[in-house]
Amino acid sequence: MRYKVIEILKTFSEKELKQFDAFLLSPFFNESQKLRRFYTALLRYYPDFDPVNMSEEKLSLEVNPNLPYNKSTIKTLFFELANSAEEFLKIINFQSKETASEDYLREELFKRKLFKLIEANTEKVMKDLDCEKEYNFEYFYNRFRALTDMCNSHKINRQKSNQDYISDYNEMFCERAKCLTYLFMNELLIQRNTFLTVKNTFKISEENNFIFKLFEKIDFVGMLDFIISETDNASYSLIFELQLANYKAFSDFENEIHYHEYKKLLIRNIHHLNKEDIHTNFIMLIRYCIMKPGGNKSGFDFRAELFGIYKYILSKNYYYIGVHDFIPIELYRIVLKLSLELKKFNWTLKFIKEFNPKLIPDKRENMYNYSLAEYYFHKKRFDDAMRYFHRIELNHFILRVDLKNLMLMTYYELDLYENAISLIDSYKHFLSNSTMLSDAEKRKCKNFILTVQNMIKYKISAKSASKFSIKKNLSGDMHNKVWAGEKFLMLDDRFIRSA
C-alpha cells in the first residue's frame, strides 16, 4: 500500500500522534467520526505500517464491521486522512513561528479596522525582534513586515499636518528600506557562495546564471561598505563585515592577506554569531584553502591550515546546523581524506571511531566500511582495503567516484589487472551516463582512468608510447595525482609481462 498519509504518519512522534488525535476530535477541524475510527485502526500498525500484516480489507472491517469491503470507500478515507494530516502539519508549523504568525493576525486586524490593536501588536513584535540573536532571512523578513504595517497604521491613524508625523514616518520608512536591503544583500551573497561551492563538482553555467550575471552588474563592495557605515546595530554590521571580508578574499584571490583578515575577523567575533553564520563562514574558509594550490607563491601551507580548521570545527561542534545534529557526509569525507593524505593515521582512527556514529543512521555502515578501506589503503594494507570496500552496498553509496578511484588504485597495487580493466570499463560508462557531475569533474576522473589504464599497459608490455601518454596525462588535472605520479616513477623498476 502506497498512500501519502502513511508516509506522513511514519514521521510522527508519540506526542504528535496524540496531538493529531485531538485534532481529529475537534469538530472545527473534522466532523467525520468514521475518519477518526479509521485513524485509530491505522495506528495499530504504527510505526512500520507493515503491508504484510496491514491490508485494506482489515482496515475496512475495523472501521465498518457490518459492511462489506469497498475499495473506493477505503481510498477516500486514506485521501481525507492525508488532507487532515497536512492541515495538522500546517498548524503545528504555524504555531512554531510565533513572530511570522503575528503578521497574519495583523492582516485580520486591518480588515476589521482595529488600529489600536495593530499598534500594540507591532510594538510587541518589534520588542521581541530586538531580543533576537539570529539575524537570518526570517528575522529581516519579519522585521520588514512589521515595519510595513507600522507605516500603514501610521498613515491611516495619524494627522498628516504636523512635523512629528513626517519625522516618525520618515524614520520608519528608512528603517523598512534598510531591512529590505539587508535581506536582499545577505541572501544574494549566501546564494552566490552556495553556487561557487557547488559548481566545482556539478554542472552549473556561469554564463546563464542570474546570480553571477547580477554580481557583474552591481558594485557589491561599495554596497557593503555603505551598509556597514549606515547601520548603528553592531550585530548587523558584523554580518556585513564578514560578508565583505569573504567577498574580498574570493574576488581578489591571489592576495592571501584578505583570507587571513577574514579568518581573524571570524574567530575574534565568533561568540557574537549564531550557528548558521558560523557554519556558513567556516565553509567559505574551507573552500578558499581547498582552491589554493599546494605550491602557492607565499609558501603558506594551506593543507595544514585546512586540517587545523577541520579540527577546530569538530572540537567546537560547529558542524551542527539545521534540524538535526548529524555531521554532514561531505565534511566527514574531506576530513577523512585529508587526514590520511597528511599521514595522521592515529588521529584518523580516533576520528572514525568518534564521528562515524554521528553520521545520518542509514549511511553509517557504508561510510564505516569506506573509511576503513581508505585507511588501510593509505597504510598500504591493500588486502584489508579490498576486504572493506567489498562490504559497501554500491546502490546506496553516495561517494561512488571516490569508491571507484579507491578500488582502481587497490587493484593496481595488488597487480589485479583484469579486475582493474573491468572496473575501468564500468567506470567509463558511469561517467558517460552521469548528468550530475560537472565537465571539470568528469575530466579529472577520465584523466585518472586513462593514466592507470596506460600504466597497466606499460607494465604488461613496457611500450614507450604508453609511458609517454602517461606523462602527458599527469600534466593535466586529475584525481589522486600524487599517487599516480609515484606509481609512474616506479614503472622502470618492475616489468610484468602478462596479466
pLDDT tens figures, 129-171: 988 877 888 889 999 999 999 999 888 877 666 777 788 888 9
Q: Has residue 202 got a pLDDT over 90? A: no
Rounded to an integer, the average pLDDT of 114-131 is 93
CB 403 within 8 Å of CB 370: yes
Residue 300, SS3?
Answer: coil
Question: Which of 87, 85, 78 is CA-nearest to residue 38?
Answer: 78
DSSP for 206-237 reads STT-HHHHHHHHS-HHHHHHHHHHH---HHHH
pLDDT tens figures, 26-63: 999 999 999 999 999 999 999 889 888 888 999 999 89
Residue 462 — pLDDT band, cuts 50, 70, 90? low
Q: How confident is the model at residue 145, as a pLDDT?
A: 95
Residue with the three cell numbers 472491517? 61
Provide CB contacts within 8 A for 57, sequence distance 6+.
69
Q: How confident is the model at residue 497, as a pLDDT?
A: 43
DSSP tally for the chain: helices H, then strands E: 24, 0
Residue 117 — pLDDT band, cuts 50, 70, 90? very high
Residue 377 — pLDDT band, cuts 50, 70, 90? very high
Go through the chain and tell me how many residues it has: 499
Q: Has residue 499 got a pLDDT over 50? A: no
Residue 207 — pLDDT band, cuts 50, 70, 90? confident
Q: How confident is the model at residue 267, as a pLDDT?
A: 95
Looking at the chain, the whole-number percentage of residues with pLDDT higher than 90 is: 60
Categorise residue 317: left if φ over 0, alpha if ψ from -120 to 50, beta otherwise.
Answer: left
Q: Has residue 495 got a pLDDT over 50? A: no
Q: Has residue 88 got a pLDDT over 80? A: yes
Which DSSP category does 327 fall into?
P
Q: How far apart are the first and last CA of the chain?
A: 52
Q: Has residue 227 got a pLDDT over 90? A: yes
Rounded to an integer, the average pLDDT of 410-421 is 95
Residue 226 — pLDDT band, cuts 50, 70, 90? very high
Rounded to an integer, the average pLDDT of 4-32 is 94
Question: Which of 105, 108, 173, 180 is CA-nearest to residue 139?
Answer: 180
DSSP H helices in 231-274: 234-251, 257-268
Q: Which long-range contacts (CB under 8 A, 24 or more apart) does 42-45 make?
A: 42/5, 42/6, 42/9, 42/81, 43/9, 43/17
Q: How confident is the model at residue 403, as a pLDDT?
A: 93
Alpha carbon 349 to its chain centroid, in Å, reads 26
Q: How confident is the model at residue 344, as a pLDDT?
A: 96
Return the C-alpha torsion angle 420, 426, 431, 434, nearest 10.
Answer: -150
Q: How confident is the model at residue 25, as a pLDDT?
A: 95
Q: Has residue 321 got a pLDDT over 70? A: no
Task: Tell me the chain's radius of gyration from C-alpha atoms.
Answer: 30
Rounded to an integer, the average pLDDT of 372-398 is 90
Mean pLDDT across the chain: 89
Residue 215 — pLDDT band, cuts 50, 70, 90? confident
pTM, 2 dp: 0.66
Phi, psi of 202 (to 5 degrees): -110, 160
Cα 292 from Cα 249, distance rounded (Å): 12
Residue 2 — pLDDT band, cuts 50, 70, 90? confident
Residue with the three cell numbers 520608519? 172
Provide CB contacts within 8 A for 182, sequence distance 6+.
135, 140, 227, 236, 240
pLDDT tens figures, 262-297: 999 999 999 888 887 888 899 889 989 988 876 566
**Beta pairing partners, 202:** 437
Residue 103 — pLDDT band, cuts 50, 70, 90? very high
Q: How confident is the model at residue 397, as a pLDDT?
A: 59
Distances (CA, A) of 233 to 151, 178, 229: 21, 11, 10
Alpha carbon 161 to its chain centroid, in Å, reads 53
Q: Has residue 357 got a pLDDT over 60? A: yes
Q: How confident is the model at residue 294, as a pLDDT?
A: 63
Rounded to an integer, the average pLDDT of 3-24 is 94
Question: Which of 204, 102, 114 is CA-nearest to residue 148?
Answer: 102
pLDDT tens figures, 258-269: 999 999 999 999
Least confident of 438-442, 445-449, 477-481: 438-442
